[in-house]
Structure 1
């Protein structure tokens, strides 16, 4: 018996994979920036927040250009060895593009770049799996920061609560999270309700390149000794 065509699934949305053309655009953009700007920095980041990074990029857009994405693509763009680097000693920069990293090409002075990166911090609510930076414990008694209609939701998060004359009440002490331990989905939701921002988004400078003889390491980490 022939298969019915009535139940055939049809995909209405189409997605285009980022292929070779997209990679070439990034490579060409990086190489153009290497000609336009006087210095290059590698940075790494913690607790990435796109909105915070966007604010920082907009602050520097008149003097600098940021690149984040595939480390391998960025390495290809500037050269992975002394034989294929686009400028002398850029292979040293390439070797430091590891993990959560990016590059900034800029005409700002070294002192100004260091000041901007050192001063930049963004705070946000920690996500599930993030490491708690402190112990948060709620004591038995009224929880006046929560409205009465939130009581069912709080119970679903594992909190021992009840309504007492329209007031949410904790019937026993409750530990939301322990310092140094990963946050559960429930802990993450409770901290958000409490307005407790545990995630700090930072950008840390790793190295600076200014010319063939102007290369500086900011972070001495595992594997940095092989930057030759």
Structure 2
């Protein structure tokens, strides 16, 4: 059934869209940072956590992080490139072309060795989310679970599927439970159970992929391969409509032929009746 052109989606949220003004503000900030800072580092993120990224921003107060839409950051860098000489244009374009996937930009005046050393040593452990691949096998033995209050028992049993019961007001596993296997993709329920028992598997890291400096230009730090998802090829609608119309035409022709046959038979019957009467 075709979509109605009169139907309009209405959002009930009171939050206003950031729009073009916000994007233009980011582009201008990137251009000013290109003039203010000597070094630009492109980094990728493993197991993104906003709270951890805020801690990194606090640690690097003398620098500037940009973590937004890649297209907007590319426009900001290209606008700065248009005002520079040919050598700068070539090297900065190489960095701009690598803005793919979940990545960000770091503008800083700290030297290259200090930046690489800090990011190589930085990592924060956090709880895994659904879709994460388990790094180890976790098994809960049969017995009491004193870390859970008695009020949580129905939620553990019904929502998370844990084999629990209350014994003298204490949440107890009446049989051994396999939470997850190593290499298995975690479900939302498994991720919640791991968080409740305090088992952290994910590691938040920032990996420096490449950098650009005013002295040496562009330099690759770590090679990465970007895999793109294959897009599904949809059959054109026109062909489907033609097939449907052809089928309808055939069915209509068959109906017309059957109607013509019935009319001829009725005419023959009428002629026979007239002959009999004569």
Map 1:84-103 to 2 at 5 A: 84=82, 86=84, 87-88=88-89, 89-103=91-105
Q: Distance in 2 between matches of 1:155 and 1:104?
A: 46
1:216 to partner: Cα distance: 1.5
Query: Partner of 1:20 in structure 2?
Result: 20
1:167 to partner: Cα distance: 2.5
- Relative to the length of structure 2, the TM-score reads 0.70
1:212 to partner: Cα distance: 6.7
1:208 to partner: Cα distance: 1.0
1:129 to partner: Cα distance: 1.9
Q: Contact between 2:143 and 2:173, CA under 8 Å: does it hold in 1?
A: yes
Q: Distance in 1 between matches of 2:46 and 2:156?
A: 30
- Residue 121 of structure 1, aligned match among 120, 123, 133: 123
The structure carrying a bigger helix percent of its residues is 2
Q: Distance in 1 between matches of 2:170 and 2:95?
A: 59
Q: Distance in 2 between matches of 1:139 and 1:12?
A: 47
Higher-RCO chain (CA-CA 8 Å, sequence separation at least 6): 1
Q: Contact between 1:79 and 1:85, CA under 8 Å: does it hold in 2?
A: no
Number of residues of Structure 1 aligned to a counterpart in Structure 2: 212
Name the SS of the counterpart of 2:203 in structure 1. strand
Q: Distance in 2 between matches of 1:138 and 1:39?
A: 49
Q: Distance in 1 between matches of 2:54 and 2:69?
A: 18
Name the SS of the counterpart of 1:79 in structure 2. helix
Query: Partner of 2:141 in structure 1?
Result: 139
Q: Which runs of 5+ in 2 are unaligned?
A: 1-9, 227-278
Q: Distance in 2 between matches of 1:120 and 1:180?
A: 25
Query: Partner of 1:38 in structure 2?
Result: 38
Alpha carbons of structure 1 residues 175 and 222: separation in structure 2 relative to 1, 3 Å:
same
1:53 to partner: Cα distance: 0.6
Name the SS of the counterpart of 1:197 in structure 2. coil
- Relative to the length of structure 1, the TM-score reads 0.85
The structure carrying a bigger strand percent of its residues is 1
Alpha carbons of structure 1 residues 210 and 192: separation in structure 2 relative to 1, 3 Å:
same
Q: Which has the larger radius of gyration?
A: 2
RMSD value over aligned CA atoms? 2.3
Q: Distance in 1 between matches of 2:13 and 2:143?
A: 52
1:84 to partner: Cα distance: 4.4
Q: Contact between 1:163 and 1:169, CA under 8 Å: does it hold in 2?
A: yes
Q: Distance in 1 between matches of 2:210 and 2:13?
A: 43
Alpha carbons of structure 1 residues 209 and 158: separation in structure 2 relative to 1, 3 Å:
same
1:101-136 per-position Cα deviation (integer Å, ceiling 9, x unaligned): 000010001111112211221222212222222111
1:14 to partner: Cα distance: 3.2
Q: Contact between 2:92 and 2:217, CA under 8 Å: does it hold in 1?
A: no
Q: Contact between 1:78 and 1:85, CA under 8 Å: does it hold in 2?
A: no
Map 1:46-195 to 2 at 5 A: 46-62=46-62, 64-79=63-78, 84=82, 86=84, 87-88=88-89, 89-156=91-158, 157-195=160-198
Query: Partner of 1:6 in structure 2?
Result: none
Q: Distance in 1 between matches of 2:44 and 2:198?
A: 27
Alpha carbons of structure 1 residues 153 and 111: separation in structure 2 relative to 1, 3 Å:
same
1:90 to partner: Cα distance: 0.4
